[in-house]
Chains A and B, each alone.
Chain A
Amino acid sequence: MSRPQEKGNVVSRLYEWIKNGLERTIFMGIQYTYPKRFVSPLGYLGTLTGIVFLVLGVSGGLLMIYYQPTLSGCGSLTCAFASIERINNTVPSGWLLRNIHYTASNAMVLLAVLHMYYQYFSGRFKIKNEVLWVTGIILGIITGLEAFTGYDLLFNQRAGLAIEIGSSLANASPLIGGTLRLATFGAGFTDFVLRLYAAHVFILPMVMLILVFIHFPRYLVFDLPVISTVVGGLFMVAAIFPVAVGVAYSPSNPQLTIPEWYLTGIYALLRTEFDKFVMGGLMPALLFLTALVVPFVDTSKKLSWKDRPFFTALGITTIAQIIITTAWGFYINPNTNLPTLSRLFVDPVLYFSSMLGVTVLSFAFTYAFLRYLKAKERVRRAVAPMTPLLTKRWVFIIFLMLVGAQLTLNFFAWTAALTNLNAMTLFDAGAILVTFGVIAHLYRYSQSLPF
């Protein structure tokens, strides 16, 4: 195979060679875009979700090395918990990986939700994108299951609560309840921990990967500065809000806890003390079902949220309802003289009237706002020609300052690691990644300057 004489150094030639070699692979079916200037990350929140999924895969794979999915052997129901305590306290860098994994799991749920709502309001799910939308919703559900199984594995008090609720929900399903419980949670705690481990580290991620292959659009935006900043920011958040291992779960001595924020909604629904299956199973299912059928109901050719008042109002309503339900989930009656069950009770009259109220308000607000927008005819202003913000002299100065900042941060990270200041190490590592994101962006910016 003859090829034109290639130019450049060894590295760029190797890169070209590999790139040419990929021609026959599936990767060339996807068109990657490396934006030449800053574009809003809202458009590629999906890619960012995928990047965070990769972070979770790497950190989770490393955590598997020391996690012990067993219960007996080190006393009652503490083996799995003890192994996590060991990762947190003894294994070098274990603290960092555990906190990254935890924060990344939250970030992934958050990014996935934001991604969905952006696609919903911008109407991008329409016009031949129905399959992408439906696989996206399913991926979202599996992301939730992945998060649920993940924090059960800790076997602390909070995990205990989630396990109890999850298994009792499975039990409450009509007809298949018992079978479902046995299949997913097994016959007891010992059985359970291995089942959920298998689901968390292999079965669910594999299903996700297969769905991601279907979910992949053909155009992917890969923006290195933003990705580096998001990952670095994630590390910094993990450093600022480290998560405690908690107290070991003990069936005989449960404590009053609240689930993770993305599950408090279901927790609130259950605490209305209506039928468990209806509140914990059908109500959330209603939300997902609504999401699933939207592209088949909203078939108009109009994309913008401004031209689809009903569906915009529906979207706003779901957001408001989720927020209200989640807020109820965090509420526990502060009166400690009451018995636990009545402290946890969510008054269904109050709850459902707040849900109804927020629906009416959302629709009224959306329609009123859209009418206001229409009345105020907006004049499109001509786009002013871009004048460069920075001269090349300043580009050089800022560049050198950023690299200097990176060097300083590296020094800090190094000393922090030597003195076992875990949070500091993680924060510095995140800050270094963010700095690199800024460097990469500045380089991109400098491409548009005359040199």
Chain B
Amino acid sequence: MVEDSKETTPSQQKPSEAEKKPAATVASQVRPPVPAQGATTAPRPPPPRPPVPAQAQTPAVAPQRKQSGRRTFLKALVAVGAILAIVPFVPWGNYLLSSVSSSGPAKKQNVVLDLNTTSNNNANGAVSGQQVNVNDLTSFPPNGSWLITYPTSGDLTIDSQNPDTFQKFALIRLPTELGGANKSASAFVAYSKVCVHLWCSPNYDPQKSSNPTYETYQCPCHGSIYQLPTKDSSGNLVDAGKAVAGPASLQAPPTNAIPMLTLTADSNGDLIIQPPVWDVDHNGVIGYGRNYASYQNYILPLAEGEQLP
């Protein structure tokens, strides 16, 4: 009956339906319900129809198609093809991850203090605009802190007026007990001015340096406190910039330590910023965090004169 009705419809879809006929017959022998369904759909409207959207046809053919494992397999292959067509574009996502602030690759830069401006509250006092030298204990005494910019635009005046704290760092000369009087780069640390909690701007409080835990780098917003390096049992400096109080200290590592710059000194004692590696195991990710052990594993060895790997 199915065949009869179909043969009498000179439909424009006839070729395809006619070809499906054998399949329908086979299916009907195997499974009784199928012809019944086919019969209900048989008296379909005759030819002059506009181009029909795909799903309008499906009721007639869907029951047969469901039986065919081959069709399912073909469908799966199309799906595989579609996935394979998308896969090569996944790495293009790296486009979004390029750092906006640094134009081009990270560069070596001399540590020159920002000029005093009203926006930075004249942060650098009498030594503003000077190149920092590790041998100069008078201008840059232990337990002091200053404001620097990395990366520089090449113009100190523009740098000093730049309000972007993501490019600002606090240069701190350690207290004498921690080796701040040493004439080497290891007497200094450079902490990011962006708190890893909610991006406020922490400040160095020299009064707190008598505290045995050196809780000196404090955020004014919610009281997060980052420590200076502390001495371990064998007297080595470790764990600089780890948050020891406030909300930042409650965050999971590596989001509980402040990012830092790598500092070295040249033969004249001039302080230099080495090209940072902005990931959590090296200089950290500004505004996100750093693995605090990277100080003793990466930053301090370079400051003490090890060569860059």
Contact = CB atoms under 8 A, between A and B. Distances in A.
A93 B94 contact: yes
A436 B77 contact: no
Nearest to A429: B88
A246 B207 CA distance: 57
Contact of A93 (B71, B75, B81, B95): B95
A77 to B, nearest CB: 17
B84 A433 contact: no
Contact of B22 (A34, A392, A450): A450
Nearest to A91: B98
Most buried by A among B68, B80, B85: B85
A417 B71 contact: no
Given A93-B95, A399-B77, A417-B91, A436 B70 contact: no
B96 interface: yes
B78 A406 contact: no
Contacts, number: 106
30 contacts: A31-B53, A32-B53, A33-B53, A34-B54, A36-B54, A65-B96, A82-B103, A90-B104, A92-B98, A93-B91, A93-B94, A97-B95, A403-B77, A410-B84, A414-B88, A429-B89, A432-B84, A433-B85, A435-B85, A436-B82, A436-B85, A439-B77, A439-B81, A440-B81, A446-B74, A447-B16, A450-B20, A450-B21, A450-B22, A451-B68
Given A439-B78, A451-B71, A413 B88 contact: yes
A76 to B, nearest CB: 15
Closest 7 CB pairs of A and B: A436-B85, A92-B94, A93-B95, A439-B81, A413-B88, A406-B84, A93-B92
Interface in B61-111: 65, 68, 70-71, 74-75, 77-78, 80-82, 84-85, 87-89, 91-92, 94-98, 100, 103-105
Contacts of B103: 82, 86, 90
Given A399-B74, A443-B78, 17 more contacts: A31-B53, A34-B53, A34-B54, A36-B16, A65-B95, A66-B100, A86-B104, A90-B98, A93-B95, A386-B15, A402-B81, A406-B81, A410-B87, A413-B88, A429-B89, A432-B85, A451-B23
A270 interface: no
Interface string A15-42: 0000000000000000111111000000
Contacts of A228: 85
B70 A451 contact: yes
Contacts of B84: 403, 406-407, 410, 432, 436
* Contact-residue bracket for chain B: 35 or more
A96 interface: yes
A244 to B, nearest CB: 19
Contacts of B22: 450
A259 interface: no
B97 to A, nearest CB: 7
A263 to B, nearest CB: 30
Nearest to B67: A451
In this complex, the member of A91, A228, A440, A449 whose beta carbon has the largest number of chain B beta carbons within 10 angstroms is A91
B306 to A, nearest CB: 29
Contacts of B89: 429
Contact of A33 (B20, B51, B80, B97): B51
B74 to A, nearest CB: 6
B19 A440 contact: no
A225 B95 CA distance: 28
A360 to B, nearest CB: 42
A135 to B, nearest CB: 24
Instruction: Summarize B's interface: helix, strand, loop or mixed.
Output: helix
Nearest to B82: A436
A240 interface: no
Nearest to B14: A385
Contact of A448 (B16, B85, B88, B96): B16
Nearest to B78: A443
B129 to A, nearest CB: 21
Nearest to A450: B19
Contacts of B94: 92-93
Contacts of A425: 88
A96 B98 contact: no
B6 to A, nearest CB: 14
Contacts of B68: 451
Interface in B117-176: none
Nearest to B16: A448
A85 B15 CA distance: 57
A92 B82 CA distance: 25
A371 B85 CA distance: 50
B53 A385 contact: no
B95 A385 contact: no
A198 interface: no
Interface string A407-451: 101100110010000000100110011011001100100111111
A443 B51 CA distance: 19
A206 interface: no
B21, B81, B94, B96 pick with most chain A CB within 10 angstroms: B81
A407 B87 CA distance: 10
Nearest to A94: B95
A62 interface: yes
Interface in A391-411: 392, 395-396, 399-400, 402-403, 406-407, 409-410
Nearest to A446: B74
A243 B30 CA distance: 62
Contacts of A443: 74-75, 77-78
Given A414-B88, A429-B88, A385 B104 contact: no
Contact of B19 (A66, A92, A448): A448
B45 to A, nearest CB: 18
Interface string A285-298: 00000000000000
